[in-house]
Structures are given as C-alpha cells and as structure tokens.
C-alpha cells in the first residue's frame, strides 16, 4: 500500500473536492492510501471584514498578517507529508506566492487544474518553481501541459472527474417540468462569464416567457437588464448541487477566450453532461475538445449563436434529451471517477 499525504487548499474548494477528495476511497481499493490534510482557512479566503470594493493594499498590514495566519495552518500538513511515502499537493500553498513548498517531502506530485502562472502578484515565478520542484506534474488538460512541459518533462494529463454514481440523472423527469430552466452553476469568481451573455439571455427570455434562468453560486449575479422574475438565484450548497442541476433543462458554460479560460478543465460542462443535460458552451480550451467527442450540445461564440442554441433546445425538447444522454455516455467513458482513479493509481504506482 502506497501512503500519500494530500495537501489540499480548502474544505469546499472545487479543486479539493473533485481533484483529490473524491478519489480517496477508490484509490484505497487500488493500493493507494490517501490521507487529506486540509488547512483550517481556505487559501483564497479574503481578509475578514474587508469590504469587497477595497484592495488588499488598502488594508496591507492586515493582509500580511492574514496571509501569515494562512501559512501557519499549513504546517500540520507539511509535517505529515514527511510521514508518508508521497506528497500530493493541490496547486501552490498560497495563491500568487512561493512559500513553504520546499519543505514538503518528496516525491512530490503537484496537481494543477488552472493557469496558476497568471495569479497575481508572482504567479509566473511560483508556477515555474513548483514545476521544477515536483517529481510529477498532474494537469487537467493539454493547454496546462504545454505551459508546464517547458519546466518539467514528467507531465501527466489527468482530467477532473465526475462521480457518475452521485451525479445521476433524474429518471422521474424533474428537469423540464413547468417552466423551461436554463441553468448555470459556479463560484462568484466566474459570474462575469455568465454576465457577459446577458444580452442573449434577455432576448431569449423575452421571447419565451415560460423560461427562466437559474443561477447557483456563492454570490448572486449582478445583471443590468434581466429582471428578478426572469432569474432565480440559489445559494450554492454541496448537499443540493446535484438536485439543482437536475432541475435544469440546459446547462450553460460561457467563457472569454483568454489564457485563464483556456486553462479551465470544462468541469461545469461535465457536471451538466453527467446529469444528461444538453449544453451550450463557449468553444474555448477543453470545452471545444469535449464538444468534439460527441454530439452533446452546442458551441456559441456570439450573441446570435447563444440565442439560436437556446431557441433550438427550447423548441426541440426531445432532441435536447438525446444530446443529454450522449453527454452522460461520454462522461462515463472518459471522465468518471472510476476511470480517472485508475489513471491516478497508475501514476502513484509508477513513482
């Protein structure tokens, strides 16, 4: 049995939950015993009490003290890494800073699912140093592999997985009952992508008054044109995540074509697909690759294409259900926890 110390980033962070935590039990069956060491403070947590509109420079002494406090919560995991055979690090310890990574025991597996070299203030330097120190870099897509491959030859592309037993379609037909629900789920940091297609949503929801937009996030969106009767906001809760997506008829994943967006791993898209929801997505980075695997939904690059795709799915519900079924087949074949855990186990056994 290989003993692995997993150094994660925060209790509810998607990268913690889906890149590492959900694999712990399956990996145990494959000869890899993973013990997670999660910090008491989420590494992305803002300075307590700081107004959102204030910059960190405006509260610099408190910001420095807060970052130091976060690092203190990392020491138990660092110590425990020396009691295990392998260290599995969920990205850098502190966003945008190179800190205590050199104290972690080796062999070191660095798991990366974002373009962390873009994280201010020193992301590029941090990413290079982490890549050079790691014995293996596990990345979520080919774009990340290309960037990190310059700094470390030992790269393995392992996608973010979906637990297809947990993310199971609503066979009772909950989605589609009553109003037609166009849905988006994600963290507040990604709300800008959703808000960027507001004009298309306005046209669609004005044309089809029995349709609505469901937004599931840790913060409500700030729309300028959509009205409160057209948008339903639900605070994200892990226990309700599956049910929230089940209530959708279509899943959205808009992105801007940027370096940061190209580093994303299509996770929202895969969640929708696992629950047999047709998708409308920006064909950026890994989104495009998943779209090319089968007929699972539509690519939308412009306002007109977003409207066209939504209208088509509204007026062709059965076709949407068929696209959703193909989506689940694709997820089970390529992105299920079973498939991805086996890839991770092979990687650990090869060290």
Same domain, 30 and 156: yes
Q: Distance of CA 143 to CAs 38, 121, 140, 256, 260, Å?
A: 28, 22, 9, 15, 10
Domain that holds residue 231: 180-334
Terminal C-alpha separation, the chain: 13
Q: Is 179 strand, coil or helix?
A: coil
Strand order in the sheet with 211-217: 231-235, 211-217, 180-185, 250-253, 279-281, 297-299
Task: Tell me if 111 is assigned to some domain.
Answer: yes
Structural domain tally of the chain?
2
Q: Are residues 148 and 194 in the same domain?
A: no
Residues 345 and 324 in one domain: no
Per-residue pLDDT of the chain (351 residues; tens, 9 = 90+): 999 999 999 999 999 999 999 999 999 999 999 999 999 999 999 999 989 889 888 999 999 999 999 999 999 999 999 999 999 999 999 999 999 999 999 999 999 999 999 999 999 999 999 999 999 999 999 999 999 999 999 999 999 999 999 999 986 655 445 799 999 999 999 999 999 999 999 999 999 999 999 999 999 999 999 999 999 999 999 899 999 999 999 999 999 999 999 999 999 999 999 999 999 999 999 999 999 999 999 999 999 999 999 999 999 999 999 999 999 999 999 999 999 999 999 999 999
Cβ–Cβ < 8 Å for 78, 103: yes
Residue 112 and residue 190 in one domain: no
Q: How far is CA 212 from the centre of its chain?
A: 24
Among candidate residues 77, 84, 80, 108, the one with its CA nearest the CA of residue 33 = 84
Same domain, 140 and 53: yes
Residue 226, domain CATH: 3.40.50.2000
240, part of any domain: yes
In-domain check, residue 170: no
pTM of the model: 0.93
Asked whether the beta carbons of 4 and 80 are under 8 A apart, the reply is no
Q: Which pLDDT score is estimated for 173?
A: 59
Which of 45, 123, 138 shows the shortest CA–CA distance to 345? 138
Q: Are residues 299 and 188 in the same domain?
A: yes
DSSP letters for 34-75:
EEEE--SS-TTPPPTT--TTS-GGGGHHHHHHHHHHHHHTTH
């Amino acid at each position: 049995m290989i003993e692995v110390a997993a150094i994660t980033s925060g209790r509810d962070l998607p990268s913690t939950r889906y890149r590492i935590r959900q694999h712990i039990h399956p990996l145990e069956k494959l000869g890899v015993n993973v013990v997670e060491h999660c910090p008491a403070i989420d590494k992305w947590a803002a300075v307590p009490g700081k107004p959102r509109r204030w910059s960190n420079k405006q509260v610099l002494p408190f910001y420095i003290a807060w970052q130091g406090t976060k690092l203190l919560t990392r020491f138990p995991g660092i110590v425990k890494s020396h009691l295990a055979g392998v260290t599995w690090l969920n990205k850098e310890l502190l966003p945008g800073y190179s800190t205590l990574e050199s104290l972690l025991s080796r062999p070191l597996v660095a798991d990366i699912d974002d373009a962390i070299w873009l994280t201010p203030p020193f992301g590029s330097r941090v990413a290079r140093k982490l890549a050079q120190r790691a014995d293996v870099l596990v990345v979520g897509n080919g774009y990340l592999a290309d960037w990190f491959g310059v700094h470390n030859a030992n790269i393995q592309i392992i996608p973010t997985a979906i637990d297809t037993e947990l993310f199971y379609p609503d066979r009772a037909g909950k989605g589609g009952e009553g109003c037609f629900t166009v849905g988006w789920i994600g963290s507040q940091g990604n709300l800008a992508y959703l808000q960027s297609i507001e004009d298309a949503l306005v046209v669609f929801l004005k044309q089809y008054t029995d349709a609505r937009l469901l937004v599931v996030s840790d913060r409500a969106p700030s729309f300028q044109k959509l009205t409160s009767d057209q948008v339903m906001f639900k605070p994200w809760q892990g226990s309700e995540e599956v049910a929230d997506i089940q209530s959708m008829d279509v899943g959205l994943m808009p992105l801007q074509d940027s370096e940061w967006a190209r580093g994303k791993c299509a996770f929202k898209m895969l969640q929708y697909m696992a629950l047999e929801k047709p998708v409308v997505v920006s064909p950026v980075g890994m989104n495009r690759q998943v779209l090319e695997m089968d007929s699972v939904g539509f690519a939308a690059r412009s306002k007109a294409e977003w409207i066209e795709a939504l209208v088509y799915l509204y007026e062709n519900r059965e076709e949407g259900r068929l696209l959703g079924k193909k989506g689940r087949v694709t997820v089970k074949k390529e992105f299920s926890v079973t498939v991805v855990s086996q890839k991770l186990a092979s990687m650990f056994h090869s060290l």
